[in-house]
Chain A
Amino acid sequence: MEKNNKNNKENVKVVGFWVSPFVHRVRWALKMKGIKKYEYIEEDIYNKSSLLSEINPVYGKVPVLVHNGKPLSESSIILEYIDQVWNDDFAPPLLPRDPYQRAQTRFWAKFADQKVLESAWMVLCSEGEKQERAVKEATEALEKLEEKLKSGNSIFFGGDTIGYLDLMIGFVSYLYPVWEEVASVKILDALKFPALVAWQSNFLNHELIAGEYLPPRAEAVAYFRWRRSELIPVYNRMY
């Protein structure tokens, strides 16, 4: 019998881009809640359609979740929405119920985006001295994340199983190594970050994730090589 029968009657659309980690979060969250029947619309973010400016007039970005005709953007906000709307016996909670634990989870999700992802992106889009500085920041950010994971005494950030924080940090499992390869650096290594490296494979191999929605590595590498070449001169001017 299909899980969440009632949910399949509701209209869910996701507008995304194949390589965006923000989109993957949303798709994993829906999958965790047992929502598999939805329309996925691939958007070419370099040639945006009128749909995107209609459903995300403020930022014009992906992902956008459209539920019963109502659009929502910003992945962290979409995930909390999904968690609130779909919560019954068949849909495991993504966030903890305790307010203090929720606050901690939200704090680390923000840290993951503002520090871990940002610094890794800067490593990808820089070279020379700028890249060295970015590598230092990226390392520091990962150190804090490693400590956080170790202090939880469990294999996932969400405890014994995957939660909101694992989904938000998910990009570290598959995109981080891609960016390292493209940027010709190695930051996230097993000696310095044993807990995070173990988490990477536990996350990717978890039955709920099973590498789904992820771009083929060769294509991702080619895409980010292109982004790096485009963005190095831009960031050189800006920073």
Chain B
Amino acid sequence: MADGVVLLDTYFSMFGMRARLALAEKGIEYEYKEENLGDKSPVLLEMNPVHKKIPVLIHNGKPICESLIIVQYIDEVWKDNSPLLPSDPYQKAQARFWADFVDKKVYDAGTRMWTTKGDELETAKKDFIEALKLLEAELGEKPYFGGENFGFVDVALITYSSWFFTYETCGNFSVEEHCPKLMEWVKRCMKKESVSKSLADPKKIYDFVLFLKKKRGFE
């Protein structure tokens, strides 16, 4: 193991998947610990006392929290292989901007799609598609958001693709229909081993969401 790397995570979390993906991209061996969020481990509570959330990366005994902060940390420490962020300051800032956009706009709308119904659900769907369209425009004709190479924004967004099936089923729509170029990008990313092995199975995610919906009375 590279200097003691541990990841506290849950299988279904698109945030946790980002950490897994960054570690895979860099070829870093680590210990994976699946957390039960209904019964959080003492390690998790000790390592993330502020938010008590996953993912938490523990490197040489020291915790790093928040998925995009973890990915940047991984990129800065293991800087000699597969750089995720560009070195040019302006391009780096743009990459951070779009990763932040994913969290601000895609996450919120996506969550609303499986936790609401009726008019609220329709609004969530509209917001979700709008956000994806902006991202699709930003991608343009590039193979990846990072240009020729898989980069930071690719890591930030691709993990959400494992949740697309859930969103599409709850919202009764197709991402491909609205954003065909984005779906091409998803397929391109999924060909990478680091991506396919880091993302959770979309059907399993959907089953999990159905379970959550029942449990929380969202039907």
A interface with B by C-beta (< 8 Å): 58, 67, 70, 72-74, 77-78, 80-81, 84-85, 99-100, 102-104, 106-107, 110-111, 144
Could you tell me the distance between the alpha carbons of A20 and B5 in the complex, rounded to whole angstroms?
Answer: 41
With contacts A100-B64, A103-B72, A106-B69 taken as known, whether A111 is within 8 angstroms of B93 at the C-beta atoms is: no
- On whether the beta carbons of A72 and B65 are closer than 8 Å, the reply is no
In the complex, 24 of the A-B residue pairs with CB atoms within 8 angstroms, ordered by the A residue number, are: A58-B134, A72-B93, A72-B94, A73-B97, A74-B96, A74-B97, A77-B93, A81-B89, A81-B90, A81-B92, A84-B89, A84-B92, A99-B73, A99-B76, A102-B72, A103-B64, A103-B70, A103-B73, A106-B66, A106-B69, A106-B72, A107-B66, A107-B69, A111-B50
Given contacts A72-B93, A81-B92, 18 further A-B contacts (CB under 8 A): A58-B134, A72-B90, A72-B97, A78-B93, A80-B93, A84-B92, A99-B76, A100-B73, A102-B72, A103-B64, A103-B69, A106-B66, A106-B69, A107-B64, A107-B66, A110-B66, A111-B50, A144-B50
Instruction: Say which residue of A81, A104, A107 sits within 8 Å of B93 (CB atoms).
Output: A81
Closest to B49 in A: A144
Could you tell me the distance between the alpha carbons of A84 and B88 in the complex, rounded to whole angstroms?
Answer: 9
Q: Tell me which residues across on chain A come within 8 A of B62, comparing CB atoms.
A: 100
Q: Tell me which residues across on chain A come within 8 A of B134, comparing CB atoms.
A: 58
Q: Tell me which residues across on chain A come within 8 A of B96, comparing CB atoms.
A: 74, 77, 80
Give, as a whole number of angstroms, the nearest-CB distance from B151 to chain A.
Answer: 16
Instruction: Say which residue of A102, A110, A111 sits within 8 Å of B76 (CB atoms).
Output: A102
Could you tell me the distance between the alpha carbons of A111 and B65 in the complex, rounded to whole angstroms?
Answer: 11
Give, as a whole number of angstroms, the nearest-CB distance from A86 to chain B.
Answer: 10
Could you tell me the distance between the alpha carbons of A70 and B94 in the complex, rounded to whole angstroms?
Answer: 11
B interface with A by C-beta (< 8 Å): 50, 59, 62, 64-66, 69-70, 72-73, 76-77, 89-90, 92-94, 96-97, 100-101, 134
Instruction: Say which residue of B66, B77, B100 sits within 8 Å of A77 (CB atoms).
Output: B100
With contacts A102-B76, A103-B69 taken as known, whether A85 is within 8 angstroms of B97 at the C-beta atoms is: no
Q: Tell me which residues across on chain B come within 8 A of A81, comparing CB atoms.
A: 89-90, 92-93
Could you tell me the distance between the alpha carbons of A214 and B70 in the complex, rounded to whole angstroms?
Answer: 34
Q: Tell me which residues across on chain A come within 8 A of B69, comparing CB atoms.
A: 103, 106-107, 110
Closest to B101 in A: A58
Closest 5 CB pairs of A and B: A99-B76, A84-B89, A81-B93, A103-B73, A103-B64
Closest to B50 in A: A144
Give, as a whole number of angstroms, the nearest-CB distance from B55 to chain A.
Answer: 13
Could you tell me the distance between the alpha carbons of A70 and B92 in the complex, rounded to whole angstroms?
Answer: 13
Give, as a whole number of angstroms, the nearest-CB distance from A112 to chain B.
Answer: 12
Closest to B90 in A: A70
- On whether the beta carbons of A99 and B97 are closer than 8 Å, the reply is no
- On whether the beta carbons of A85 and B89 are closer than 8 Å, the reply is yes
- On whether the beta carbons of A77 and B97 are closer than 8 Å, the reply is yes
Give, as a whole number of angstroms, the nearest-CB distance from A116 to chain B.
Answer: 12
- On whether the beta carbons of A107 and B77 are closer than 8 Å, the reply is no
Give, as a whole number of angstroms, the nearest-CB distance from A61 to chain B.
Answer: 11
Could you tell me the distance between the alpha carbons of A84 and B62 in the complex, rounded to whole angstroms?
Answer: 26
Closest to B59 in A: A100
Closest to B95 in A: A77
Could you tell me the distance between the alpha carbons of A84 and B89 in the complex, rounded to whole angstroms?
Answer: 6
Give, as a whole number of angstroms, the nearest-CB distance from B102 to chain A.
Answer: 12
Q: Tell me which residues across on chain B come within 8 A of A106, comparing CB atoms.
A: 66, 69, 72
Could you tell me the distance between the alpha carbons of A160 and B64 in the complex, rounded to whole angstroms?
Answer: 24
Could you tell me the distance between the alpha carbons of A103 and B64 in the complex, rounded to whole angstroms?
Answer: 7
Could you tell me the distance between the alpha carbons of A58 and B62 in the complex, rounded to whole angstroms?
Answer: 36
Could you tell me the distance between the alpha carbons of A106 and B65 in the complex, rounded to whole angstroms?
Answer: 10
- On whether the beta carbons of B89 and A99 are closer than 8 Å, the reply is no
Could you tell me the distance between the alpha carbons of A144 and B51 in the complex, rounded to whole angstroms?
Answer: 11
With contacts A77-B93, A81-B89 taken as known, whether A107 is within 8 angstroms of B65 at the C-beta atoms is: yes
Q: Tell me which residues across on chain B come within 8 A of A103, comparing CB atoms.
A: 64, 69-70, 72-73
Could you tell me the distance between the alpha carbons of A58 and B104 in the complex, rounded to whole angstroms?
Answer: 12
